[in-house]
Structure 1
């Protein structure tokens, strides 16, 4: 028997969210069942491996006392998952293709991204969401029913040598309840203490009973949460900066500057808010995204399943099945109204001004040019250009169904333990746009009176100068008129998106002793795996771009991501636990993975643990890991999205496209998948110690480091830089089908450099072409005019290198009436280097926007025979505000407010919130109250976010509570 030392148990316990302390009786019980123990991070059963790696364990009691209603709620305060922008929830959901899918959430270790964190249930894989976040596939943790979870084990170090792909930053393993006896009903209700209603309730039932000679554990869970809007809080209701406006209002359109006689935009009557004076001295009606920002989506989930475990002679058969259904609705700001070809400033017929008084109408006509414009049907009308967006936010509804089936056989073959299982895991999603999405052609037909009452577009007979049908002209300046609104409704579309992601798997493992070394037994594990993955993401035709329609999606402001891919893979692994001496242990593992698309990879791991004295363990590990290109990245056919380019990373790009300034710009692009993508690679190092001078005291300190290379992304900055000398990347107008590169305003080819080259010609001097363009067009901004739908190929283009220190301290004080526990947990990021978005420039992120250097929690808890209570403070240190991408007018306002320091920078303040928990255990029941953000702290101001705060590291919900009741039958 390989013993678990009291120190090892204490070290493992030191990482629990609510610290557990093992008594001598507990240790004896652990030793009695030692042959069945297997911890996350190893496939070897029954050996003391806790000391070789830092493991966070969230126990059943921790789950009960956390106040969590979902897996995301449970994980959001775990230090290894805090910081950075990787972990996301429904607070980041939106109604556009590059948003987090509504109602879904993901966990990311060390801020390396959700695709770099492997999600397991009972040690086996889970199908990724069929709807990627960007192009990163991720496991939707909202689809995992909390009621079925016995505990969660978090290993925040590279683990591909054990588990294969995606374990770059580590593994989160959800362990299901098994061999449950009795029945338990749990009910909870929560809400904020604000006047608005953010109510949520949760009901779940767990039943365990003997059946057919085995044990059946059944669970059912239902959760429902209302939405939460920026308009529900004073801190988010209005923008922090008046200058953070958009020229595109929801009401009272502005006159587009091309139609204005003096070249300046101006507002028309009816703006519901005070007019804004722009940096050009214009008076416009403005829009702020706070008006329609949804801070948390309404969300509903229902799940049910069972785990059946039975002994069939010498073989144990275990089957677990669950199905989960979630539903959510999310929205994004109303779509901009553009011309049919996606350029700014749609035309309105001059007669729309007739709704105003003669004085107002004549004043507007005196200030504008009335020009001819072509209609959808082919007529020529006279009118002017305006700037506006639709009044209704883009709104989508998503239904997701997740299914998991695992059936495993296990037993002993002599002194060896064996196990084999088949796995089926599937995620199906359906999305429908239910509001705020309009057909561009029908809308422009309505603007010209060419939209028929049945929703079709009229045809025009030039010979008779007649339309096949005539309708009223839609008036974008008229609001609250039922007939006008009904005409707009004819142009509404309901694009859909259907996705399916499936994992089929088979594995076989064997674990046992293979010999002795220096009188100590060597433990080992071997295994093979086969896996097939499939994914499809199929949008409806009216939301897809293609070359045939000039890459114009039928609807405004709503793109799509179309992909289809599959792959098969096989792997073999071996792991050895070698006690080199009585105090020094070695873990060695290696795994070979072979994929039918990108090839093969081998990943090793070496870990040591040294116990010079019983109270101290020193540990170190080194491993390599990999992440296979996601099926979405490999199989994207065409994805409409936006991409940033960074003029601060390349001065040549800045001089041509940003008037020499180091700002970031965003453009509409088309992303293409790349079947030639290679796997991302990672190397991780961890060194630390655990010291337990007494049974009630534990201190652990761990240094960790990740080097993550060949990240998959698009790099528009690099493409713009390459296009300076590579003419194949430069296109006047749309990029031709089958080619890649940058799309320029078609009129740019009307000018040449001093050698008579256009921008499409090899050897063209782009600086001379820019000068010629300025003379020719007298543009508003002195930069090369980009057009739309630049075509970019996903590439292995980036890297990120991260290092830090984890510290955990645990102290228990025993009294006759109960025990008092003090726990402290902290993570300090030493460095976080990553490519700047859209650039090959490496920047230091630690201490910058969304990357706090220090994250900590301090807890004090009391547990008696029946009464329990705790108080925990969560701390996030200050970090730099994201003001580098702000416009000049915004920086001027910040300076006038005195918000900038002497270097022209500012920090988002440190934030500390407190969670309180109090409860009582009766004979067959328990009741508890959790209060988050006890002192109702507002999130720190963040001027770099349109929300006014960082919704990843902070939240604006304020004080909120949850009352829970459990009854055991």
Structure 2
């Protein structure tokens, strides 16, 4: 557990300042502002995360608003090397849990999140709790149904069209609504741009890279200003085998090496025993080709399979983005119109050669005595002594059970495509009401998104046929339901003249004697052939293609938002107010293709509806039920900005929201007191609430897979929404100190605190599995744990769990707090000016209250800060400390900027991943420190700015994490050293 150490924190701040070049003696130079040459004021200002004021509906407010906001403008982005949204928000000190590099375990539903998206997750409270705006108005969520809630894809916005981003780093529900419970990110576009600008860049890193081309034009159309921007970006594929830290030998325990491989193991029943609960303990042996083909043999139990070579650290991606806006006026009324379009594609999404079946003892993968591969193996090995020293007689007639997957080390991987598109139309009218002091703001926005994700799947009934020699599209033998069989299947009528393994009927061969070469890097049989290979025993690629299917889901989401705001003045320069109404409607839907439609194909035989377990036709992948849902919100709000004297600024807000099934009235009060010329104090206090989303209330089952520790495998997780969930509520407050000196030095320190009641999450499947392992708590959870044969009576061993049933719940509570620090200034130095900035955030605590279930403590009160939180449904990875230090020097037509990024160490936290093969301690995830350099040349009289960026100068590898891709994709950058060249041409 992490506790706040003030001395340690202060030393880290001091040390990183020195590292960045901040003078660590008494002060900066003694030069005064009036001594600075006027030309230096024209040099770019390095904004970093500078504190500005925003976050109100009051226009022309008389007060300096007391909100902590990070402003990141185009100049700042250019001086950072114009980072991608993923890189930008991973480095933002107030953000944790950012997707966009590798989405392998985000919300345990990688299948619903294409790798083209990116999010912002303020304070690590969940991306669905951070409101994202474009020009102050809402944007639709991603189309996929997610356990942790949907979020806005910030990768949909053309970077060339963005003027700045304002990040409100505190709860803003009383101003913006319940979806701003953690904060707000407002993207402001270049509405006043005139002229033409072309931007081209290439970002190279070893084995991959990013290329981007963008253009923007702005000009007068009558009395209006029209701005149009277009952008295209391509990202290369970075495979795991391209990084030596990612592709590792078997690490003793952990992800990336499946318990189930091919080659695999074979279970030899004693007699004709077929009861699933007994088969797990029957004698077995591992295929002797295991290690030659790249597997790792675990005694007599299994041949582990490393599936990392078929995973990508970064997928091949394509983005096409466009944005247009028209701004003008008629009379005293100003109007604004905007449109956005984004097309995103993952053209070659690759995954493992096959998935392991959820159930291994149901008889689908049964190998008969007449199977050619078995016959050949027994001819060479009539008896076989396994690694446990047990000698097995292999000459019997009883069926064997294959303990493995369809395809493993032989490859190849399976390739699918994914695509999505996003659209947006928005407009507003603003102006005065007659001769009064009142003004109005009428706005409407509509945005929608549509995406298709595809997953490979393997038909259970086709596997059943292929293991018995009746595989292939033209064999002519089918299956029929058999409720008495563990598999639920039986062979159908066999036409006259049809025999297994002859003519159009083929056997699937699970033995290594049918595999000639391994596709596993550096395996003994990768470059030299398997000496036991026999061509006559190999099944063809066509048989595997026939067993495989493509499950596709097309999902849609849309958001309609309309609002009317009235602004007024009570006393000029003293008191202004705003009041308004807002209507929001969210619509979501999903339609699977026929193979993945559980309403059409709920059972193992397509079209059958008679089975008791309705999880679809496949042995690992599942489909979905089609659904449509919507949610409408009405909101009424009011704000008062009051400046009673020269030293006090205050703001009060009330926000009422009605969802039909729930409503809430939430206040907020904010104060800023100017103590003297260089010291000010600020603070905010508010309540807010957040209702269950359309997905939280959707009772249709969603089946996905998650790693279940006691089984050492990915297993099926059934999740449903719950209609009687309570809204979550929060009390939040911020306290800040602001130091400003007329020499240009500034410093802010803010303490923030969130206290949630009834936060919405899910029952944690990892905790249910752990409770099932413990005999003292098994009875409390056994109704949610499904054993072989669809039994949920607690009768199977923990390692034989096949399915876990969860649902959405209200957790008891969550509390988090921390400290934000900003230090910055600009001074004359020689013939130029130097900028120095340091920004950091230290999370003091993230305490999740104990969760009870059926009278037992399912999850004890725990501290999430300082942990990876891989199995925690309420928290992403939460390193306690994040810091960014910047020093920039600007002279003449040049700028040189150095940056350092620091992410502190944190702990793995999951007991089964803590020890390496030689006893290494993997409890701790190391700190991550990187350095960047950026050089800008503003070529005189040309309109050209050239930028050379060197990222991660020391080529630091991301800290090792014992999971699939060997790093924390939600926190660390895996790309290594990068060189980026960007050229911008402007004509105005």
- What's 1:301 paired with? 319
Residue 907 of structure 2 is aligned to residue 880 of structure 1? yes
Which of 822, 828, 836 is residue 836 of structure 2 equivalent to?
Answer: 822
Q: Distance in 2 between matches of 1:442 and 1:461?
A: 12
State which drifts further: 442-451 or 817-826.
442-451
Which of 659, 672, 678 is residue 615 of structure 1 equivalent to?
Answer: 678
Residues 729 and 915 of structure 1: CA distance in aligned 2, closer, same or farther (over 3 Å): closer
Q: Deviations over 1:390-415 (max 9, x none)?
A: 34545442211100100111111232
- What's 1:487 paired with? 543
Residue 866 of structure 2 is aligned to residue 844 of structure 1? no
Aligned-pair CA distance for 1:790: 4.0
- What's 1:426 paired with? 448
Aligned-pair CA distance for 1:744: 4.1
Q: Distance in 1 between matches of 2:321 and 2:621?
A: 31
Aligned-pair CA distance for 1:556: 3.1
Aligned-pair CA distance for 1:491: 1.6
Mapping for residues 872-951 of structure 1, pairs under 5 Å: 872-886=899-913, 891=915, 893=916, 896-897=918-919, 899-900=920-921, 906-922=923-939, 923=941, 924-943=943-962, 945-951=963-969
Residue 77 of structure 2 is aligned to residue 63 of structure 1? yes
Residues 447 and 309 of structure 1: CA distance in aligned 2, closer, same or farther (over 3 Å): same
Contact 2:947–2:982 (Cα < 8 Å) also in 1: yes
TM-score, normalising length: structure 1:
0.81
Which of 505, 509, 531 is residue 565 of structure 2 equivalent to?
Answer: 509
Contact 1:132–1:138 (Cα < 8 Å) also in 2: no
Mapping for residues 411-490 of structure 1, pairs under 5 Å: 411-413=431-433, 414-433=436-455, 436-454=456-474, 457-458=477-478, 471-477=505-511, 478-479=514-515, 484-490=540-546
Aligned-pair CA distance for 1:103: 2.0
Which of 133, 136, 143 is residue 130 of structure 1 equivalent to?
Answer: 143
Paired residue secondary structure (1:166):
helix
Contact 1:157–1:169 (Cα < 8 Å) also in 2: yes
- What's 2:816 paired with? 802
Q: Distance in 1 between matches of 2:117 and 2:761?
A: 22
Contact 1:394–1:437 (Cα < 8 Å) also in 2: no
Q: Distance in 1 between matches of 2:708 and 2:402?
A: 29
Residues 400 and 835 of structure 1: CA distance in aligned 2, closer, same or farther (over 3 Å): farther
Residues 258 and 620 of structure 1: CA distance in aligned 2, closer, same or farther (over 3 Å): farther
Residue 639 of structure 2 is aligned to residue 575 of structure 1? yes
Residues 353 and 180 of structure 1: CA distance in aligned 2, closer, same or farther (over 3 Å): same
Which of 723, 732, 743 is residue 786 of structure 2 equivalent to?
Answer: 743
- What's 2:576 paired with? 523
Contact 2:699–2:721 (Cα < 8 Å) also in 1: yes
Q: Distance in 2 between matches of 1:627 and 1:395?
A: 39
Aligned-pair CA distance for 1:638: 1.2
Contact 2:402–2:510 (Cα < 8 Å) also in 1: no
State which drifts further: 336-345 or 420-429.
336-345
- What's 1:863 paired with? 890
Residues 556 and 227 of structure 1: CA distance in aligned 2, closer, same or farther (over 3 Å): farther
- What's 2:7 paired with? none
Aligned-pair CA distance for 1:322: 1.1
Aligned-pair CA distance for 1:642: 4.0
Q: Distance in 1 between matches of 2:651 and 2:504?
A: 79
Mapping for residues 542-557 of structure 1, pairs under 5 Å: 542-545=595-598, 546=602, 548=609, 549=611, 550-557=613-620
- What's 1:87 paired with? 98
- What's 2:47 paired with? none
Contact 1:40–1:123 (Cα < 8 Å) also in 2: no
Contact 2:146–2:695 (Cα < 8 Å) also in 1: no
Residues 552 and 695 of structure 1: CA distance in aligned 2, closer, same or farther (over 3 Å): same
Which of 159, 168, 182 is residue 172 of structure 2 equivalent to?
Answer: 159
Paired residue secondary structure (2:741):
strand
Paired residue secondary structure (1:74):
helix
Number of aligned pairs? 858
Q: Deviations over 1:575-625 (max 9, x none)?
A: 1111133211211001101113x3211221111000011222110001122
Mapping for residues 743-782 of structure 1, pairs under 5 Å: 743-746=786-789, 759=793, 781=797
Residues 623 and 230 of structure 1: CA distance in aligned 2, closer, same or farther (over 3 Å): same
- What's 1:182 paired with? 195
Aligned-pair CA distance for 1:190: 1.0
Contact 1:327–1:399 (Cα < 8 Å) also in 2: yes
Contact 1:368–1:384 (Cα < 8 Å) also in 2: no
* Greater relative CO, 1 or 2 (CA 8 Å, sep 6+): 2
- What's 1:145 paired with? 158
Residues 47 and 305 of structure 1: CA distance in aligned 2, closer, same or farther (over 3 Å): same
- What's 1:500 paired with? 556
Aligned-pair CA distance for 1:225: 0.1
Residues 289 and 746 of structure 1: CA distance in aligned 2, closer, same or farther (over 3 Å): closer
- What's 2:874 paired with? none
Unaligned runs of 5+ in 1: 1-13, 29-37, 374-381, 647-657, 732-740, 750-758, 760-769, 774-778
Residues 926 and 730 of structure 1: CA distance in aligned 2, closer, same or farther (over 3 Å): closer
Q: Deviations over 1:631-657 (max 9, x none)?
A: 2222251100246889xxxxxxxxxxx
Residues 339 and 712 of structure 1: CA distance in aligned 2, closer, same or farther (over 3 Å): closer
Q: Deviations over 1:482-528 (max 9, x none)?
A: 85211111122111101110111211112231237xxx610111111
Contact 1:181–1:209 (Cα < 8 Å) also in 2: yes
Aligned-pair CA distance for 1:553: 2.1
Aligned-pair CA distance for 1:554: 1.5
Q: Deviations over 1:738-795 (max 9, x none)?
A: xxx443445979xxxxxxxxx5xxxxxxxxxx7xx6xxxxx8x5x5x86544433312
Q: Distance in 2 between matches of 1:238 and 1:189?
A: 30
Contact 2:181–2:689 (Cα < 8 Å) also in 1: yes
- What's 1:254 paired with? 265
- What's 1:651 paired with? none
Residue 603 of structure 2 is aligned to residue 593 of structure 1? no
Residue 403 of structure 2 is aligned to residue 386 of structure 1? yes
Q: Distance in 2 between matches of 1:372 and 1:307?
A: 76
Q: Distance in 2 between matches of 1:407 and 1:400?
A: 24
Residues 911 and 67 of structure 1: CA distance in aligned 2, closer, same or farther (over 3 Å): same
Residues 575 and 962 of structure 1: CA distance in aligned 2, closer, same or farther (over 3 Å): same
Aligned-pair CA distance for 1:559: 2.6
Residues 164 and 89 of structure 1: CA distance in aligned 2, closer, same or farther (over 3 Å): same
Which of 599, 605, 613 is residue 668 of structure 2 equivalent to?
Answer: 605
Residues 153 and 383 of structure 1: CA distance in aligned 2, closer, same or farther (over 3 Å): same
State which drifts further: 823-832 or 252-261.
252-261
State which drifts further: 721-730 or 828-837.
721-730
Q: Deviations over 1:907-948 (max 9, x none)?
A: 2222210011011012311100111101111222234x2333
Q: Distance in 2 between matches of 1:323 and 1:189?
A: 23
- What's 1:218 paired with? 228
Contact 2:77–2:83 (Cα < 8 Å) also in 1: no
Q: Distance in 2 between matches of 1:275 and 1:791?
A: 32
Q: Deviations over 1:342-384 (max 9, x none)?
A: 85882123423268577635355973657778xxxxxxxx444
Contact 2:62–2:642 (Cα < 8 Å) also in 1: no
Mapping for residues 5-84 of structure 1, pairs under 5 Å: 40-47=54-61, 50-68=64-82, 70-81=84-95, 83=96
Residues 558 and 844 of structure 1: CA distance in aligned 2, closer, same or farther (over 3 Å): same
Residues 455 and 75 of structure 1: CA distance in aligned 2, closer, same or farther (over 3 Å): farther
Q: Distance in 2 between matches of 1:513 and 1:27?
A: 36
- What's 1:9 paired with? none
Contact 2:338–2:427 (Cα < 8 Å) also in 1: yes
Which of 165, 180, 186 is residue 173 of structure 1 equivalent to?
Answer: 186
Aligned-pair CA distance for 1:798: 4.8
Paired residue secondary structure (1:236):
coil
- What's 1:379 paired with? none
